[in-house]
């Protein structure tokens, strides 16, 4: 059987805004990496031997300087989505990006992912300009984005397959990651056989498979019911504690941001600018949603995004 995704040509997909020839050819340890192929308009690069477990050196990992993005619509309109974003994120931080609908959260995340080019300003990961998507950034989307024609194991190992990693190592990695997300023994199942919460846990496992420096998550739990959402929030914190990945997590849910983050960044209405940047004390964990401290933060953040006490 031939899988359409594996045989598709780059020209079959809408391209990203990047000149693909601009893509860096070094991994986050500075080693030369081999371009494997282009899929979905994005170049996927990695090579066996460049994968590493564990976190990066301390220090600013992501740096934005006066970053802006303007969309140009088909009707010739200019839409300024974000502007003047100046921000440093250290390795190991769990940063929640909070703001009202349409304020540019996804736009900012997509620039860090390399799906969108900045219109102005600087954006760096580990000192290198971000020019295109790469395996050093794992992305989890809101909608279930697993490949329906692949088993859970093949979904998780997809990035490793693209990187030319051997079948034995791919299987071992998928098994380890399924354990990490609390879903051992489902590797042979297909996405349609899973609940929404299970699909998102598999998506997290897939995003972690190339051992990225950063995990980018765009409202990954928004489509889930409240109970499943809270359970996945707890599991994500557990995964973060075990992997110490740097996480950039987009949400417009204030309670979710306070429960998860080591730092909450609030964007104003469009064009999104940073209006609050709050570091939450690590000794304030586990965070009880009914505690006075939680409620104080809730009020402050609600005021900052202009929704005063409601969510
Ligand atoms: N491709 C596009 N072309 C034109 N305008 C766009 C495009 N994508 C987003 N926008 C506009 O840019 C602004 C920011 O969009 P973005 O998706 O980043 O917001 P958001 O904060 O993620 O919103 P939400 O919370 O609803 O997901 C919005 O006003 C949106 O309409
Ligand atoms: Mg969005």
Give tens-digit pLDDT for 113-134: 999 999 999 999 999 999 999 9
What separation in Å is there between the alpha carbon of 165 and the centre of ligand 2? 33
Of 33-42, 184-193, 273-282, the least confident: 33-42
Average pLDDT over residues 286-299: 92
* Cα–Cα distance, 174 to 168 (Å, whole number): 10
Ligand 1 centroid from CA 71, angstroms = 9
Mean pLDDT is lowest, of 86-95, 165-174, 194-203, 298-307, for 298-307
Res 59: pLDDT: 57
CB 197 within 8 A of CB 224: yes
Looking at the chain, list the stretches that DSSP marks H as alpha helix, in order from N- to C-terminal side.
4-7, 105-113, 152-156, 158-162, 167-180, 196-208, 226-243, 254-260, 292-305
Please state whether the peptide bond connecting residue 88 to the residue before it is cis, i.e. omega within 30 degrees of 0: no
As a whole number of angstroms, the distance between CA 136 and CA 225 comes to 31
| pLDDT score at 96 | 98
What is the overall mean pLDDT for the chain?
A: 83
Average pLDDT over residues 153-175: 95
Q: What is the pLDDT of residue 51?
A: 32
Residues of the chain by 3-state class (helix, strand, coil), percent to 5: 30, 25, 45
pLDDT of residue 69: 98
Which residues have CB under 8 Å from 110's CB, separation 6+?
116
Q: Assign 306 a pLDDT band (cuts: 50, 70, 90).
A: confident
Pocket test for ligand 1, best of 73, 76, 107 (most atoms within 8 A of CB): 107
pLDDT of 23 reads: 53
- Of all ligands present, the nearest one to the C-alpha of 103 is 1
Per the listing, tokens 């066996």 go with: 48
Å from CA of 227 to ligand 2 middle: 22
Q: Is 69 in the pocket of ligand 1 (CB under 6 A)?
A: no
Q: Quick: pLDDT tens for 166-177.
A: 999 999 999 999
User: How would residue 253 be classed by pLDDT, with cut points 50, 70 and 90?
Assistant: very high
Burial-class residue 195 by CB neighbours within 10 Å (0-12, 13-18, 19+).
exposed
Q: CB neighbours (10 Å) of residue 218?
A: 20
Domains for the chain: give ranges and CATH numbers.
Answer: 8-147+212-305 (3.40.50.300)
Is the distance from the beta carbon of residue 102 to the nearest atom of ligand 1 less than 6 Å?
yes
Q: pLDDT per residue over 22-55, tens digit each?
A: 454 444 444 434 333 333 333 333 333 333 333 4
What percent of the chain has pLDDT above 90?
Answer: 73
* Angle made by CA atoms 256, 262, 263, in degrees to the nearest 5: 85
For a pocket test of ligand 1, which of 17, 70, 81, 103 has the largest count of ligand atoms closer than 8 A to its C-beta?
81
Measure 252 CA to ligand 2 centroid, in angstroms: 9
Output the 3-class SS for 45-74.
ECCCCCCCCCCCCCCEEEEEEEEEEEEECC
Which residue of 75, 103, 118 sits with most ligand 1 atoms within 8 Å of its CB, as the best mutation to test the pocket?
A: 103
Q: Give the closest residue to 248 by CA, choosing from 91, 143, 116, 119.
A: 91
Phi/psi of residue 96, nearest 5 degrees: -100, 130
Q: Is the pLDDT confidence value at 11 over 80?
A: no
Total residues belonging to the chain: 311
Average pLDDT over residues 49-78: 74
Q: Is the CB of 74 under 6 A from ligand 1?
A: no
């Amino acid at each position: 059987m031939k899988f359409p995704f594996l045989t598709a040509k780059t020209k079959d997909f809408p391209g990203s805004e990047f000149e693909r020839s601009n893509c860096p050819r070094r991994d986050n340890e500075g080693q030369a990496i081999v371009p494997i192929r282009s899929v979905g308009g994005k170049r996927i690069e990695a090579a066996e031997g460049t994968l590493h477990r564990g976190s990066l050196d301390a220090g600013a990992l992501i740096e934005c300087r006066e970053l802006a993005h303007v969309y140009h619509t088909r009707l010739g309109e200019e839409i300024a989505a974000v502007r003047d974003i100046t921000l440093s994120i250290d390795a190991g931080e769990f940063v929640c990006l909070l703001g009202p609908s349409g304020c540019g959260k996804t736009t900012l995340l997509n620039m860090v992912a390399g799906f969108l080019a900045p219109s102005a300003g600087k954006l760096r990961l580990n000192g290198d300009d971000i020019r295109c998507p790469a395996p050093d950034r794992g992305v989890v989307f809101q909608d279930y984005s697993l490949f329906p024609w692949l088993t859970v194991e093949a979904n998780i190992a997809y990035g490793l397959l693209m990187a030319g990693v051997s079948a034995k190592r791919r299987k071992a990695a998928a098994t380890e990651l399924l354990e990490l997300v609390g879903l051992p023994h489902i590797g042979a199942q297909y996405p349609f056989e899973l609940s929404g919460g299970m699909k998102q846990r598999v998506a997290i496992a897939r995003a972690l498979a190339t051992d990225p420096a950063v995990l980018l998550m765009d409202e990954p739990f928004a489509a889930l019911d409240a109970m499943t959402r809270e359970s996945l929030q707890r599991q994500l914190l557990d995964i973060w504690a075990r992997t110490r990945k740097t996480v950039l997590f987009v949400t417009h849910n204030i309670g979710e941001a306070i429960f998860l983050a080591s730092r909450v960044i609030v964007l104003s209405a469009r064009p999104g600018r940073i209006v609050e940047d709050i570091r939450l004390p690590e000794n304030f964990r586990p965070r009880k949603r009914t505690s006075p401290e939680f409620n104080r933060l809730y009020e402050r953040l609600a005021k900052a995004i202009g929704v005063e006490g409601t969510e």
